[in-house]
Amino acid sequence: MISLSLHHIAQTLGGDLLLVGDDTLDTEVSGRVDTDSRVVGPGDIFVAKPGETTDGHLFVPAARTAGAVLAIVEHPVDEPITQIVVPDAVAALADLAREVVARVRARGALKVVGITGSNGKTTTKNLLARILQDEGETVAPRASYNNEVGAPLTMLRVTEGTRFLVSEFGASGPGAIAALAGLVHPDISVVLMVGMAHAGGFGGIEGTFRAKSELVHALRPGGVAVLNADDPRVAQMAPIAADRPASVRWFGRGGAADVRAEDVEVTADGTSCTVFADGASAPLRLRVLGEHHVMNALAAIAAATALGVSLADAVARLETVELAERWRMQPLGSQRVRIINDAYNASPDSMSAALRTLAQITGPGERTVAVLGAMSELGEYAGEEHDRIGLQAVRLGIQRIVVIGPEARRLFLAAVGEGSWDGEAVFFATADEAYDYLTGELRDGDRVLVKSSNSAGLRFLGDRLGEFFS
């Protein structure tokens, strides 16, 4: 974090400052801000956030011992560390992030990019950060730091020398993106797609549309909305951008997009295409698995070129990316048995894309195996969407379907009902049972997709299979 006085921080948070030791109102702090006492170090600021299973106030002593010089708390803690007492620690975190970004922006050339979408946020964030880091100091979220805690923590990592802040915005409910994006008002807002992910929490796809469009509403006047020209719902956000007013930069596979891809070819080693932007073209060899990641790459290129990066530079930097993120289309195992661990998140759209990729990258004499778990947060749509994925897996010709967990049982039943098979689709209640089956069933030439929502825990099964067949 940038250097701020204790007085200024307390004033920003509207909290009561309790000084300890030699600290004064003018004492400056500039360390890392975090809610996890295990990563706090000398000079850092610890935010004691109450949680569902524990209370951050219990870890103020550990944070002080680790070297923290300031604790932001909701009630005083009997510990010799300077504290700022606030009504709501999470709200205070947001207030501090807003102030820090505003001060850096006022002093320098900081540009803020916000990214949202039902799928692809983290991959696009990582691709864009890779492009921008060669242009100047770039701050981007670790993992999927995109909620009311993670997004402000990322914002608080900016320094006086930061040139780009890339923020990923998830939506826990209506108004969530508006609140987070409103802390920084992005110069560029990227909307990837509007799909069924989390539809249960928004009352359907139209609710998801309204939630994702909040990022375009939050644009700074004169900013740029980077929108998916191939998604009809995202395309409907263009008038929102005009009202800011902001310009629109389209990405997609169609000829009308400002940044588009042609001649897309998918293999087990990655995806190749030709990218066109602003009258220029360049071949792109993306090592991240999956045709669907072409759209994420196009979104990153569209944002980067809007910030002045050349197409040639953007493409060259993307080609150095070997893995977008752990547990996202992550190749494991060996050439003998290839495991693709994509079990960090799952929605109907991402599940469908991953199954298509499995079918595309499997060659003659190789067998497709899909290890599938539940897709969460679909609410009333869960049954029909699991049915649809089961049907799609059969129609894509996936040769072995392994379904895990009671929440995914309808996927298994749909697959069995669609195919006239004898054992090609199997069901297990637990990942351990599936592991025992798969270690005996998988054979040379198998290409195995492991896909589920985070809550199903199949990412750990994917890791175990990858190690077993390495």
Does the annotation place 350 within a ligand binding site? Answer: no
Does the annotation place 120 within a ligand binding site? Answer: yes
DSSP string computed for 191-239: E----STTHHHHTSHHHHHHHHHHHHHTPPTT-EEEEETT-HHHHTTHH
One-letter identity of residue 373: G
Q: Quick one: DSSP state of residue 375? A: P
For the sheet containing 111-116, what is the strand order? 138-139, 164-168, 111-116, 188-191, 224-228, 247-252, 259-267, 270-277, 280-286
Neighbours of 347 (CB within 10 A): 22
User: ∠ CA 77-83-84 to the nearest 5 degrees?
Assistant: 115
Find the helix or strand (DSSP H, E) in which 101 lies. helix 89-107
Regarding beta strands 4-5 and 224-228, do their DSSP bridges make them parallel or antiparallel, or are they unpaired? unpaired
Does the annotation place 118 within a ligand binding site? Answer: yes
| Cα separation values, 435 from 28, 281, 339, 462, Å | 54, 46, 13, 9
Mark 308-318 as b/e (b = at least 16 C-beta within 10 Å). ebebeebbebb
Chain mean position to CA 356: 21
Tokens of 7: 């007085």
Does the annotation place 122 within a ligand binding site? Answer: yes
Instruction: Collect all residues with Cβ–Cβ distance below 8 Å to 386 and sequence separation of at least 6.
Output: 374, 375, 408, 410, 411, 414
Give dist(CA 336, CA 67) in Å, integer: 49
Q: What residues are designated binding site for ATP? A: 117-123
Q: What residues are designated binding site? A: 117-123
